[in-house]
């Protein structure tokens, strides 16, 4: 698969799922997850989120920029786990492009709110599970597996891994790890 095909596959799977659970790692090793609204923009390998500079996730991505985003649409039986490298971006033009007045609930001063920033996630890896079968087909498959003792197989079920090569994201992680080692020495 080409990079463009990989990006298109992830875009197709997450396009109708508005909220992802973002997981970050704190310095003490604890994993923290929280819901994040994915900004509606054409997916090109990068995901965008509004957030506040004073939130815990900011210090967590400063410490370890690797994040995971979990997308789930139980009604359509689509599940996507996306890994990538996060960074904080202060770009007024990009904020204006992505802004909706709904965000005033979190940032009452709008685009001029001093805590407002963008989080950019460069996606490097995605894993997905997609079962397009209807509920009756799924129920029959489940009952058949119980009756026969065979592993459940859903008609049309697909599971795959998509790697989206991005030298920039990998280089940032390596540079961050090297800097951390230097501080320890």
Domain residue spans of the chain: 3-130+157-179
pLDDT in tens, 44-80: 889 999 999 999 999 999 999 999 999 999 888 888 9
Q: Which CATH number fits domain 3-130+157-179: 2.30.110.10, 3.40.1360.10, 3.40.50.720, 3.90.220.20?
A: 2.30.110.10
Nearest CA among 53, 46, 47 for reference residue 21: 47
CA 77 – CA 82 distance, rounded (Å): 16
CA 33 – CA 30 distance, rounded (Å): 10
CA 38 – CA 15 distance, rounded (Å): 9
Average predicted confidence (pLDDT) for the chain = 79
pTM for the model: 0.73
Torsion from C-alpha of 108, 60, 82, 137, nearest 10 degrees: -80
HSE-up of 126 (CA within 13 Å, CB side)? 30
**Which residue in this structure is represented by tokens 């604890």?**
30
Quick count: other Cβ atoms within 10 Å of Cβ 128? 20
Query: Is 90 exceeded by the pLDDT of residue 82?
Result: yes
Higher pLDDT, 137 or 9: 9
What value does the mean pLDDT take over residues 9-17? 88
> What pLDDT shows up at residue 171?
39
> What pLDDT shows up at residue 148?
63
Query: Is 60 exceeded by the pLDDT of residue 135?
Result: no
> What pLDDT shows up at residue 78?
85
């Amino acid at each position: 698969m080409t990079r463009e095909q990989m990006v298109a596959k992830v875009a197709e799977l997450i396009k109708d799922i508005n909220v992802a659970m973002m997981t970050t790692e704190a310095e003490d090793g604890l994993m923290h997850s929280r819901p994040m609204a994915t900004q509606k923009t054409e997916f090109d390998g990068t995901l965008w989120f509004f957030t506040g500079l004073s939130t815990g996730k900011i210090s967590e991505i400063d410490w370890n920029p690797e994040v995971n985003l979990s997308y789930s649409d139980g009604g359509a039986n689509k599940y996507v786990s996306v890994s990538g490298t996060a960074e904080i971006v202060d770009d007024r033009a990009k904020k204006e492009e992505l802004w909706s007045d709904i965000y005033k609930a979190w940032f009452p001063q709008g685009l001029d709110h001093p805590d407002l920033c963008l989080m950019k996630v460069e996606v490097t890896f995605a894993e997905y599970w997609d079962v397009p079968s209807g509920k009756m087909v799924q129920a029959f498959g489940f009952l058949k597996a119980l009756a026969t003792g065979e592993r459940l197989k859903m008609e049309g079920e697909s599971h795959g891994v998509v790697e989206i090569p991005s030298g920039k994201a990998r280089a940032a992680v390596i540079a961050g790890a090297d800097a951390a080692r230097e501080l320890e020495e």
